[in-house]
Each structure stands twice: as structure tokens, then as C-alpha cells.
Amino acid sequence: MVGRSSVHIQLEPMQNNSARGATLPAYEQIKRYVLEQIEKGVLGPGDVVPSETELVKEFGVARMTVSRALRELMAEGVLNRVRGSGTYVAPRQYESTVLQIRNIADEIAARGHRHTARVLSLATSDDPSAIAALELESGPAFHSRIVHNEEGEPIQYEDRYVNPQVFPDYLAQDFTLETPNHYMVRLAPVQRAEFRIYAQKPDAHVRQYLKMEIGEPCLLLIRRTWVGRHVATSVRLWHPSSRFHLAGTV
């Protein structure tokens, strides 16, 4: 059995967070705190994270709030829970940090097929998680949900938040004619990107629009991109594993 180290960290109560962090729901503040400890190297792969009891005591929140934060971090592949032992920082799930950001319409055209898009929603949003992901001081953010089809069959569910400071005319676009990716890259090429890839079951809403069987997994790509010093967009891309695969060269 691989040994795991235990790291003691000093927890900071929520009331000491920044003003922007204080606008987030309590469970999101706890998630952000754990992620910051990992990013700073205070916690590394295999290290034990504070227990629910410790987090409840130090942050002054209900146990169900802490449970939700840890449960979502486990679903995102950040943490692992070992029954009767504790919760640990998960091993890193990817090695390459190189990802070419391609327009799905171009990929489909390259296969000689026809791309179509169904715009489910295009509106403003005050979702605290989205505003935090875009590193905005306040809302609203722009929000679009689009299903991309290849030869009439859905292959990608796009759930995207966009920074209005970078793309002020985003809501005025017709994304049945041009994909959000193509529109944004045309106006302001990406300077930096971060991403995570998971194999994950979608919720009923996503499963319905992708016409998937119950229990069928998706490939989920979570990505943020920067234009200059601004986070331009934060997007979740869901792909049915039976109809889609990720490939590339380095």
C-alpha cells in the first residue's frame, strides 16, 4: 500500500476572506480555499485534507455545507475519499499541459460532415461561481448553452460563461451561424488556457439534449481562457463517450 503523508494547515475563517470571496456561497468558499492550498503546494497529491468536523468548526458552517464542498471536489477529481481513512488530494489526472483549442464546426467540416447548432439559451447571469471563475468584481456575466450536432446527431453540449468586458457584443450574436469559439478567436486570439478533462456521468438535463442512455458516461472538458490579463471565458464541454473522443499530438 502506498503511504500517504498528513499535512497540518492553518484554516482561515470565512469572515477573513476578500470582499469578492464573501459574495460566494459558503460551499464555494470552502472549495476555493482547498483549491488554493493545492495550488500553493501546501497540500499535494496523497495528502490528507482537513476533516468535515475540522472544517465545520473553523468555518462556522453546517456540516451539509462542508459535505457539499468536498463532494463536488471529489466529483471534479480533485479529492479522493477512502472509507474509514479520510479524504486525500487526488493524483494529477493529466500529464500534458498542451491543448489545441479547435473550433468544433471546423473539426466536423474536416470530416466532410455538416455542423448545426441549437442555441438553448443566451442571456446574462449573476451566478456567483461563474463570476468568480471569470475573476469579475461583480456581475452580470454572459451565459450561453448550445448543443452542437454532426449530421443532425448531438455530439457536444456547451455551457459557457463569457466576460462582458472582453466581448461586450456577445449576446447579440447568432450562434447558429458562427460558433462562440470562432467568434471570440476572430476578435481576440487566446493568450493562455487552463483545462481539466474528466470521464463523468451527465445530469438528466445534459443527457436529454445529447440523447444519451442512462448511465452512459461523458468526456467533460472544463476550460478557462485568457485574453491579455482578463479571463475571457469559462466553459464546460460535454461529449458522449460513444460518439466522441479526444486526440492530439505534442
- In tens, the pLDDT along 109-149 reads 888 899 999 999 999 999 999 999 999 999 899 999 999 99
Using the Cα atoms of residue 77, residue 136, residue 171 and residue 180 in order, give the sign of their dihedral. negative
Nine-digit cell at 118?
A: 441549437
The domain total for the chain is 2
Structural domain boundaries, residue 235: 104-240
Give the list of residues 6+ apart from residue 27 with CB closer than 8 angstroms, or none: 65, 66, 68, 69, 72
Tell me if 96 is assigned to some domain: no
Most confident range, picked from 35-44, 93-102, 225-234: 225-234
CATH code at 198? 3.40.1410.10
Considering the domain architecture, whether residues 71 and 166 belong to the same structural domain is answered as no
Tell me if 185 is assigned to some domain: yes
Percent of the chain at pLDDT exceeding 70? 83
Considering the domain architecture, whether residues 147 and 234 belong to the same structural domain is answered as yes
Considering the domain architecture, whether residues 119 and 191 belong to the same structural domain is answered as yes
Statement: residue 97 has pLDDT above 50: no
Statement: residue 37 has pLDDT above 90: no
Considering the domain architecture, whether residues 77 and 110 belong to the same structural domain is answered as no
Alpha-carbon gap, residue 162 to 124, rounded angstroms: 9
Give the model's pLDDT for residue 169: 95
Statement: residue 87 has pLDDT above 60: yes
Of 1-10, 19-28, 70-79, 135-144, the least confident: 1-10
Q: Per residue in 173-220, pLDDT tens? A: 999 999 999 999 888 878 788 888 888 889 999 999 999 988 888 889
Give the model's pLDDT for residue 98: 37
Give the model's pLDDT for residue 245: 59
Considering the domain architecture, whether residues 84 and 121 belong to the same structural domain is answered as no
Give the model's pLDDT for residue 19: 40
Of 60, 89, 118, which residue constitutes the final position of a domain? 89
Considering the domain architecture, whether residues 214 and 109 belong to the same structural domain is answered as yes
Give the model's pLDDT for residue 40: 83
Percent of the chain at pLDDT exceeding 90? 46
Mean pLDDT of 38-47: 84
Query: Residue 101 — very low, low, confident or very high, per pLDDT cuts 50/70/90?
Result: low
pLDDT, averaged across the chain: 83
pTM: 0.60
Of 61, 89, 117, which residue constitutes the final position of a domain? 89
Considering the domain architecture, whether residues 140 and 23 belong to the same structural domain is answered as no
